[in-house]
Structure 1
Amino acid sequence: MQSDRPIFVVGCPRSGTTMLQLMLHSHPRVAVPPETRFLVPAYFSRRAYGDMRLADNRRRLATWIAEGRNTKFRELGLDAGEFVHAAMLGPGSFGSVIGMVFKCYAERFGKPRWGDKRPSYYRHVEMLMRMFPDAQFIHLIRDGRDCIASLKEMPWYKPDTFHAAANWAEAIDFGRRHARKLPEDSFYQLRYEDLTADPETELAKLCAFIGEDYDPAMCEPRHMAEVAVPRHKVWHSNTHREVTTAHAGKWVSKLEPWEIALCEDVLGERLSSLGYELTGAPRADREHVAAFKSAVSKRRTARARKYNRDRLTRLREPGPTAALLTDGQRMLAGLPRQRSAELLPR
């Protein structure tokens, strides 16, 4: 029996997750849309929408997803009315309304399986598992020095080098934690450098993990960039070209000497454990290390505050959270399998 488990791509920003999204989207059975911005905000605001067993509440949540100013729904190429209708007719759980967006997107391409990509999801794996208990996660890792160098060039990235380094360290630490805690068939890690150097081999192994046959089209993701990467995201221009190793190691010329020293001082153990060679740069200045630690602390505090608020919400859940859109999700809920024709309106 072929898998219908949801697939989530995670990683530090600028790790190549958009390229991997397109590779997966190039598979004949898998659809992975451009990044959206409704899943996490909706989850943390779920009490406001009430019990999803009520069709009117499903309509309210679906309408916000379809019409919200910052949800990016319009970039999915879906009819808002049809999606809202599908959500109202779908299963009565919060995760089902969220998942219906991606199910509709997969239907747009005639594909039976869906995924989602957003780098910051690495912080929300537990939350995603609550909504999609049969989900599979792919963590793409890239040399932290390259991630930091690339983040510095992004028009949308406002924080400084210290926060960029803290972001990468956080992604790696979360990845280690997930690799320890999650089943082997639920969490998979691979390096950007290996993927670009030998995409066929790495994608074949990845397909084995998600339970799909490898398809050679996955090695040519540029053909999907026109339909799965919004034109305004000019920083993803490289996705319109062939897969290349040319972008690995650019940090050598992009980072200042003090930034290289900082990275190798505070990120050195992580870099080495992942197979990235260090230059032997001198120790970083104390004030730079202190600024990095301050950035780490601020991120940890903000995250803890948000999670603690959510723990209180969990004590008073407004209704069922887990989706009921896949065979695995329904089996975990003790329900029979559901035909795909029953999930969407005709």
Structure 2
Amino acid sequence: MEFQKNNLDITPCFIVGIGRSGTTLLTDMLNGNPCISAAPENNFILFGKNLSNLSGSNLIAEFKTLFTLNHNHTQSIWKPDLSFLEKYNVNESHISYQKLCKEVYLHNNFAKDKNKIKVFVDKNPVYSLYIKDLITLFPDAKFIILTRDFRDNIVSRKKHTEGTISKLMVSYAASWRLYYTSILKYEQKFPEKFTRVKYEAIVGQPKETLNKITDFLNIAFDEKMLHTHENSVMKKFEKADLPQAAKDKIIEMHHRLKMPLNNERINYWTDKLSKQDLILIEIFCSKTAKEFSYTSLSKANLLEKNWAYLRIVTTYPLFILSVVLYYFPYYSLPYKLKKIIFRS
């Protein structure tokens, strides 16, 4: 098989923001643009970040190994085709981990003309906590900050979350705040690299919102971006090579992608949260939420506030412990050790 070298002068763009904020919906919409290659979640870029120190045959060999490891926090329906590696002479000095990552995204959608692709979009909510590493790997990277009313987001995550600690209301509120305080930190340092998008704007003013994004990415808007429910990533979910139970769970989580845009999930939380939970959430999130123009609505007396603080003090340490145990092995351990731990 003969392979042609691709133009790798493409801009990396990362959608950051906590899950259940419309990240998959936005990925679907962006993928309707012929200049964009956007893919479902796959955590390989940061999992293999230490490979950026390699070159030549060592890099090629380890890059192949990377995709034999269980490097995903979530079930991934995207299994990249690495056949493009055959075109590389292992002695070529210009081979880099970053270029190979770009090649993976160019080969995400074979229906597209690779010569037209100018941007690859990587949607991994957890990357919100590792923006510094992404900028180190890709100094030209751009970031779309996707937000959703924190109360709607928490109600949605509560419906789909598994795990004892994860189901604590403090965990939902603390994780929302953790993600967005991390994002704000780097937006303040590199404002030119970031643009903000609200889920509410995507479903309410989709064309204006997508125009804002394409202007930010220096590409032209395409009307096909407005009709992605007709060719949604859901079709890939339904055909994915996954256990049926995992497939059913993913389809249940994302079945609304097959529907036309609507605002039914805006203010969805209003009859889904108890007063006590709402007070706790707003105490935890209100300061950060205000940065994104989301306002608090609860009115609590002293007793109610004290009860909320007691819940926070007694369970927040468990949340911190769960974060360390969940993320540290994937992104902070030496790569050689990860190869041993995360063999598929």
TM range (shorter): 0.7 to 0.9
Matches within 5 A, 1:16-31: 16-31=22-37
The answer to whether the Cα contact below 8 Å between 2:180 and 2:288 also exists between their aligned partners in 1 is yes
Aligned pair count reads 303
Aligned counterpart, 1:225 = 232
Once residues 265 and 257 of structure 2 are traced to their aligned partners in structure 1, the CA distance between those partners, rounded to angstroms, is 12
Secondary structure at the aligned position of 2:11 is classed as coil
Aligned counterpart, 1:177 = 185
The answer to whether the Cα contact below 8 Å between 1:162 and 1:291 also exists between their aligned partners in 2 is no
Aligned counterpart, 1:338 = none
| TM-score normalised to structure 2 length | 0.77
The answer to whether the Cα contact below 8 Å between 1:223 and 1:240 also exists between their aligned partners in 2 is yes
Letter matched to residue 164 of structure 1: Y
Aligned counterpart, 2:216 = 209
The answer to whether the Cα contact below 8 Å between 1:222 and 1:239 also exists between their aligned partners in 2 is yes
> CA, structure 1 residues 30+152, in 2 after alignment: closer, same or farther (shift >3 Å)?
same
Match 1:141 to one of 136, 139, 147: 147
Match 2:297 to one of 255, 258, 279: 279
Once residues 88 and 73 of structure 1 are traced to their aligned partners in structure 2, the CA distance between those partners, rounded to angstroms, is 33
Once residues 88 and 230 of structure 1 are traced to their aligned partners in structure 2, the CA distance between those partners, rounded to angstroms, is 35
Over the aligned positions, Cα root-mean-square deviation in angstroms equals 3.1
Match 2:202 to one of 195, 220, 231: 195
Secondary structure at the aligned position of 2:195 is classed as strand
Aligned counterpart, 1:165 = 173
The answer to whether the aligner puts 1:294 opposite 2:312 as a matched pair is no
The answer to whether the Cα contact below 8 Å between 1:6 and 1:132 also exists between their aligned partners in 2 is yes
Once residues 181 and 299 of structure 1 are traced to their aligned partners in structure 2, the CA distance between those partners, rounded to angstroms, is 28
Once residues 262 and 158 of structure 2 are traced to their aligned partners in structure 1, the CA distance between those partners, rounded to angstroms, is 21
Once residues 223 and 175 of structure 1 are traced to their aligned partners in structure 2, the CA distance between those partners, rounded to angstroms, is 32
How far is the alpha carbon of 1:5 from its aligned partner?
Answer: 0.9
Aligned counterpart, 2:277 = 259
How far is the alpha carbon of 1:150 from its aligned partner?
Answer: 0.7
Unmatched 5+ residue regions in structure 2?
1-8, 239-246, 336-344
> CA, structure 1 residues 269+166, in 2 after alignment: closer, same or farther (shift >3 Å)?
same
Aligned counterpart, 2:105 = 102
| TM-score normalised to structure 1 length | 0.77
Identity of aligned residues (%): 21
How far is the alpha carbon of 1:301 from its aligned partner?
Answer: 5.9
Once residues 103 and 87 of structure 2 are traced to their aligned partners in structure 1, the CA distance between those partners, rounded to angstroms, is 7
1:295-326 deviations in whole A, cap 9, x for unaligned? 5644776699779967x99xxxxxxxxxxxxx
1:114-161 deviations in whole A, cap 9, x for unaligned? 221111111111111122221111010111111111111115565122
Secondary structure at the aligned position of 1:237 is classed as helix
Once residues 179 and 65 of structure 2 are traced to their aligned partners in structure 1, the CA distance between those partners, rounded to angstroms, is 32
Letter matched to residue 312 of structure 2: V
The answer to whether the Cα contact below 8 Å between 1:62 and 1:83 also exists between their aligned partners in 2 is no
The answer to whether the aligner puts 1:6 opposite 2:29 as a matched pair is no
Once residues 53 and 59 of structure 1 are traced to their aligned partners in structure 2, the CA distance between those partners, rounded to angstroms, is 10
Once residues 171 and 291 of structure 2 are traced to their aligned partners in structure 1, the CA distance between those partners, rounded to angstroms, is 21
Aligned counterpart, 2:56 = 54
The answer to whether the Cα contact below 8 Å between 1:86 and 1:100 also exists between their aligned partners in 2 is no
Once residues 88 and 175 of structure 2 are traced to their aligned partners in structure 1, the CA distance between those partners, rounded to angstroms, is 35
How far is the alpha carbon of 1:109 from its aligned partner?
Answer: 2.3
Once residues 21 and 101 of structure 2 are traced to their aligned partners in structure 1, the CA distance between those partners, rounded to angstroms, is 26
How far is the alpha carbon of 1:211 from its aligned partner?
Answer: 0.6
> CA, structure 1 residues 53+123, in 2 after alignment: closer, same or farther (shift >3 Å)?
same
200-209 or 300-309, which deviates more: 300-309
Letter matched to residue 29 of structure 1: C
Letter matched to residue 212 of structure 1: I
Once residues 243 and 50 of structure 1 are traced to their aligned partners in structure 2, the CA distance between those partners, rounded to angstroms, is 40
Aligned counterpart, 2:77 = 75
Once residues 203 and 63 of structure 1 are traced to their aligned partners in structure 2, the CA distance between those partners, rounded to angstroms, is 37
Once residues 124 and 146 of structure 2 are traced to their aligned partners in structure 1, the CA distance between those partners, rounded to angstroms, is 11
Aligned counterpart, 1:122 = 128
The answer to whether the aligner puts 1:40 opposite 2:46 as a matched pair is yes
Once residues 34 and 209 of structure 2 are traced to their aligned partners in structure 1, the CA distance between those partners, rounded to angstroms, is 18
Match 1:92 to one of 85, 91, 95: 95
Secondary structure at the aligned position of 2:256 is classed as helix
